[in-house]
Structures are given as C-alpha cells and as structure tokens.
Amino acid sequence: MGTFKLPNRKIKVKPIMRSRGLITDPEHEAFFLVGSSTINITAPRDRSGKIICPLDETERAFFEDKEESGMSFDKGDLSPYKKERNFWESHRIKLGKDVRILDLANPKDYIDYKLLLSNKDLIASEPKEELKKRTYKYVLVPEDHEQATRLTIRDKQKEAYKFFGKMEDSIDEMTNFLKLYGKKVPSDAKKTWLQDQVGKMIDENVDTFLAIAKDASKDLRLFIEECVFAGIIKKEGRKYFLQGGEAMANAGEVPLIQNAIEFLSNKANSDIYMNLKARLETSKK
C-alpha cells in the first residue's frame, strides 16, 4: 500500500447558476437557493442503503493515524461499517450560494473534497463536466483553472486577429465572412461597420470565428449560400437541392450543407458545379 500525502492545491466549490424550473431570472432570489438556505451534502449510499466511503484505503489509513494526519481519528473510525458514532452518518457539508474554497493541504478540507467528489449526481468533478447532468448543483474548479482559461482565450483571440488583419481592408472578404456567420449584411455596408461587426464576432464568439476562418471549404460553402440567394439552388429547411429536385448529396446521404459541399467537390459532378457557377455569374450582371 502506497503512502498518502495531502496535495498542495486549492479547489473552488462553485454553484452552477442555471435555470432548473419555473424561475428563469438569474436575479430572482429563488433562482438557485432561497435567501440564506443551504444544501446538506452527505456520504452517498448504495442501492441497499449502505454508506459508500468517499476515501480509499490508503487515505483512510492516513487519516486514522494521528501522528501522520494530526487528526483525532482512531483506527476504524472512518469505516463506513462502524456501528456506533459512525463519522459518515453524522458528517454534513453545508453549501449555499457563495463559493467555498477548499485547501486540500488541510485534512478537514480534503475529507470534504472527497465527500463532494463521491456525490456524482450533485457535484460536477470539473468545469467541463458541469453541463452533462441537470442534477448537478455545484462544480469543483481548480484554483488556477480560471487563469488558464483566460490565457487560452487570449491565445485564441491573438490567432483570430491575425486572420482579421488579412481581411480588414477588403469589404468583399469581410462581407462574405459575416455571411458565413449567418449575419445579414446591408448592400451598402461601409468598411468601418464591417470591421466593427467582425471585431464583435471575435470578442463574443472566438471559437466560431476560428472555425470559419480555418474551414478549408468556406469558399464552396459561401458559393452554395449565394446560389440559394440567387434562386439557383433550393434550400428546404437544412437540405439543399438542385432546381430539378436532385438532392445535393452522394447516393444514400442526406443533402445537409457538408454533404452538399462534398457533392460539388466530387469530380464526377464538376459539370454541375460549372453550370451553377456560370448561372451565378450571370445573375450578378
């Protein structure tokens, strides 16, 4: 059995503020919890009602060793099967609307951390998990996570502004980029307006901006949308068809945008692509 040591790091226990019922206003007093009320978190139980110990054997041995942990537990005190004065029967963690910080180098906080981790239906173990269950009330966030997230966003924004720098002097490129984003662009849009809209896109949704900027098929995607606007391609919901009713997809595929792109990319359909291109150029005259 390995030797356990308390980790030297801190964890934030943050409420997951999202609508779960009739109250959808985040400013409403009862959006998460009413007033100063709290939620009591206890050790989980199996289907038969028996307590599931949040600690593994190595951790238990550490905490039940007074010299090692500095706590008052004797051997067997943290057993989930203890008949009298069972620690897990009585131990409660009260959580409210405020963020709680756990110092895992502190034995009491570490035990609370493991208890929270063991409540797999109430506590999300890390930020990327918090939206996976509607039952999650809190999420465990490493103290340096927010700093790392800010750095990641800055890196993405730097990359996005490099792409922006290549298009900011071209009205056509910015117009086309915004169209791919799904934004309606006035025919008389000025360069400064376009620059402002693209900049807002980077600030508000940098991931989508980069996805469009890096999309190798964006020119063909724009071509299809321009054909739809000109009435040369028919769009029904999310599906694309040629004017004669032929689905823009290879055999057996649904003609969604990606399949429509692959359809026109297929050398076997080059005559269809050239015909569409000629008709589009004619429509612009």
- Is the whole-model pTM more than 0.95? no
Q: How confident is the model at residue 19 (pLDDT cuts 50, 70, 90)?
A: low
* CA dist., res. 176 & res. 179, Å (int): 5
Mean pLDDT estimate for the chain: 88
- Residue 130 has a pLDDT of 84
- Residue 217 has a pLDDT of 87
Residue 202 in tokens = 């980077």
Q: Return all residues near 129 (Cβ < 8 A) that are at least 6 apart.
A: 136, 139
* CA dist., res. 235 & res. 213, Å (int): 24
Q: Which of 113-122, 167-176, 224-233, 256-265 has the highest mean pLDDT?
A: 113-122
Tell me how many degrees the CA angle 153-154-158 measures, rounded to the nearest 5. 120
Residue 72 pLDDT greater than 70, yes or no: yes
CA distances from 156 to 48, 130, 213 (A): 50, 23, 12
